[in-house]
Structure 1
Amino acid sequence: MAAFTASDVKALREKTGAGMMDAKKALEASNGDIEAAVDALRAKGLATAQKKSSRTAAEGLVGVATDGIRGVAVEVNSETDFVAKNDKFQDFVRKTTDVALGLESDDVEALKAASYPDGGTVGDKLTDNVATIGENQQLRRMKTISVSQGAVVPYVHNAAADGLGKIGVLVALEGDASNDVLQALGKDVAQHAAAMFPQALDADGLDQAVIERERAIAQEKAAESGKPENVQEKMVEGAVKKYAKENALLSQIFVKDGKATVEEHVARTAKEAGASIKLVDYVRYQLGEGIEKDEGDFGAEVAALAGR
């Protein structure tokens, strides 16, 4: 019996752009392991570098809030998009995000234990929502960033309500430029981050396990080229550097420019303003990012996260 299904073939094709037969053969060779099949297809030049998928694997909302020099992003999951559109759920996410902003923390458990504006704790309100709305919900993650001088600028892509949506971005700009300059620049950079899926601020921040995976794929490609070993080494290093450049926010080509990198665009804006500005941090939360689930089984996923 095959270790994969037709839906696995479809998923692999969507991830890689490979043809049906190539996807099927890759899954057969990997005994159904989709990630191994992705690597095999890429090594053969049958797939492009994998970006973080823009398709979400969960419902709910991402909330963002700022107070000038500090900002927070919070993800709250629900089982269906219907609940995400519910006024009660949206009010909960908005108020919980405001509570998180005051904590200056990344600890979800601390957020659950914090006082909720309507009484009790955030965790109490979450439990009450599950009971009254009749659908499981989960506080999944939160991230706070700040600067000592400058601004943290928020952006929500396709906002469902003020400060709420499926992609939330915060950009931390350190510097002495005017607030108008910082807000305009921050929004541009945040919109770029929403569209371009950076995995880290700079190359040093990239996950080394991912870098080594890219190196292994590049080595396999180089070996198949039949070129001298010293040329292969240069090919591998070039491929790894290219991957790092394309996946670190500062070195990505700024989408509104098409020529300068994000770092160069920030420096140019600072020069034009006669001020100092440095992009020092960012957060990009996409609803359901990193959650793998079987089609139609997110309820079980959220229940497992909640320990039910």
Structure 2
Amino acid sequence: MAITAAQVKELRELTGAGMMDCKKALVECEGDVKKAIDWLREKGISKAAKKEGRTAAEGLSKVVVKGNRAAVVEINSETDFVAKNDKFLALLDEAVNAILDSNAKTVDEALALTVGEGTLNDAVVNATAIIGEKIKLRRFEIVEKNDDEIFGTYMHNGGQISALTVVKGTQDAQIAKNMAMQVASMTPTYVSRKDMPADIVEHERQIQTELVNNDETLANKPEKVKAGIVEGRLSKSLQEMCLVDQIFFLNQDQKCGQYLKENGAEVVKFVRYKVGEGIEKRVDDFAAEVAAMAK
């Protein structure tokens, strides 16, 4: 199949690999970007294992806490300029508070919630008409905690990233906030290894095995040695996915698990929203646009 320049560009942004390597990977994987990422990693070409959550749409997210309930909401717009619009910000506030006070489980249920004199969907449609851009409630999550637990929240860059943690074993709000900041900045996927599905571990083991098998400097090593190298690399890779195994951002000599243990605390759950992650952004061909206007 024909591989487009846009596909090559996307893969380069996700992996940091060279143009020709990206093109070859896409050819080998028949244009499947996710498979191409794994192919590059297996060949030792890509070092960016954590860039698959590509930020591609604009908008803002917000986290709000009320008692033992919290809500994280993301609303998308077409441009970042609109995300700073007062009408957009008011809509975000309306949405997160309406959702927090509800038992909505789906976006459709959330859009049917009463807001002012209409529904949340009416408010989105009205904002779209006034602002002049497509506005969309993309996702939300409602989190509940027990009385002996506390919430930690952090919003980066006005809501480009929102993080929420549930922490038990302490009533120190700063510890919970520090963990929310860790989640926002270091992008863990799981709290600890015990929360990680077996298929995820096996997938990563296969990648590390291919890396070792493709490493010419290890070609003459005994299989037992190679297996040990694979498990060592696997452990390091999985640690980066787990919150408690990550280096604590406020103390580079300490892991988050150690920080929590020193304070008698434990992270029960976390939610992290980065605006637009996983959405493919429209790529404008400005040269073609100018040429079309000149006709």
TM bracket (short chain): 0.7 to 0.9
The 1:208/1:123 distance shift into structure 2, 3 A limit, reads farther
CA distance in 2, matches of 1:32, 1:111: 36
Corresponding residue of 2:13: 14
Report the Cα offset of residue 53 of structure 1.
5.6
Corresponding residue of 1:199: 189
Q: Secondary structure at the match of 2:232?
A: helix
Report the Cα offset of residue 176 of structure 1.
4.6
1:136 matched to 2:124? The reply is no
What do the CA deviations read for 1:8-67 (whole angstroms, capped 9, x no partner)? Answer: 333222222223333333233333333222222211222114214675211111011012
Corresponding residue of 1:156: 155
Structure 2 letter corresponding to 1:285:
Y
Identify the range of structure 1 (147-156 vs 288-297) with the bigger mean alpha-carbon deviation.
288-297
Q: Secondary structure at the match of 1:103?
A: coil
1:259 matched to 2:263? The reply is no
Q: Secondary structure at the match of 2:164?
A: strand
Alignment of 1:69-218 (within 5 A): 69-116=68-115, 118-148=116-146, 149-159=148-158, 165-177=159-171, 181=172, 183-206=173-196, 208-218=198-208
Q: CA RMSD in A?
A: 2.3
What do the CA deviations read for 1:146-182 (whole angstroms, capped 9, x no partner)? Answer: 32123212110011xxxxx1101111112353xxx2x
The 1:52/1:27 distance shift into structure 2, 3 A limit, reads closer
CA distance in 1, matches of 2:223, 2:170: 50
Unpaired segments of 5 or more residues in structure 2?
286-295
Confirm or deny: 8 A CA contact 1:69 1:146 kept in the other structure: yes
Corresponding residue of 2:280: 292
Corresponding residue of 2:293: none
Report the Cα offset of residue 257 of structure 1.
0.9
Structure 2 letter corresponding to 1:170:
L
Report the Cα offset of residue 242 of structure 1.
2.0
Report the Cα offset of residue 139 of structure 1.
1.2
* TM-score, structure 1 as length reference: 0.82
Confirm or deny: 8 A CA contact 1:147 1:174 kept in the other structure: no
What do the CA deviations read for 1:183-239 (whole angstroms, capped 9, x no partner)? Answer: 211221111111111112222333555433322211212333333333333333333
Q: Percent identity?
A: 39
Report the Cα offset of residue 87 of structure 1.
0.7
Corresponding residue of 1:230: 224
Q: Secondary structure at the match of 2:253?
A: coil
Corresponding residue of 1:240: 234
Identify the range of structure 1 (147-156 vs 18-27) with the bigger mean alpha-carbon deviation.
18-27
